[in-house]
Amino acid sequence: MKPRYLPIVQQPYCCVAACFQMVMYRHRLPLIPQEELAYELGLIVPEKDSHLFAKVRTGSKPSSGWGTQIQKKEFKPAKVFKKLKIPLEFNQYFIKDFKNPEGLKELLVSIQKKDTDGILCFDYGKLWGIPSNGGHVCVFDRIDGNKVHIVDPEYKVPKFRIANLDRLFKAMDFHGDSNSTGVWILTRRND
């Protein structure tokens, strides 16, 4: 089966912006530079990496990890999309909204059937079984049984990966609703 998305590789700490770019590209929307989009979404990085960016915030590491801060009111994607004139709507489903792996599966099947765009937010280390804690996002491509096909913007991993549904649910649950974990739905506006 042909993937729905052209993979875009993230700049450091910019997985959210890279995933938004993949959706924008799919819908033939003009792309905005990844760094600019990430900055508007609250990009914050460790001081030692600030030299990698023309415009960036530094400070204490947020509970969600380094990167964007969409959990904060001023960096909500809907607000940023409006400001940057990106014709996308943003809706979010938290762990409490789907409660268990079967609820997550139902949501993913629905996204697939409607040919909608979904982004999955989870704890990276928990999903892949490595000693690393921090949020990460990937674009949802499709689901086949309990195999969740994703497009990962991380530069040092394969772009097309398969995650186990139960592990994905646990990684989302571990990351926590306060860190914007769960499933983000992007819908193109026709205005």
Instruction: Identify the CA nearest to 52 among candidates 86, 4, 11, 91.
Output: 11
Continuous segment of H or E residues that includes residue 143: strand 135-144
Span 11-20, pLDDT tens digits:
999 999 999 9
- Report the pLDDT averaged over residues 119-124: 96
Span 164-182, pLDDT tens digits:
999 999 999 999 888 889 9
Span 21-57, pLDDT tens digits:
999 999 999 999 999 999 999 999 999 999 999 999 9
Q: What percent of the chain has pLDDT over 90?
A: 85
Which CATH number is 15-188's, of 3.40.50.300, 3.40.50.740, 3.90.70.10, 1.10.3720.10? 3.90.70.10
Q: What is the pTM of this model?
A: 0.95
Q: What's the confidence (pLDDT) of residue 191? A: 67
- Report the pLDDT averaged over residues 99-127: 96
Distances (CA, A) of 30 to 55, 89, 154, 163, 167: 21, 16, 22, 30, 35
- Report the pLDDT averaged over residues 103-126: 96
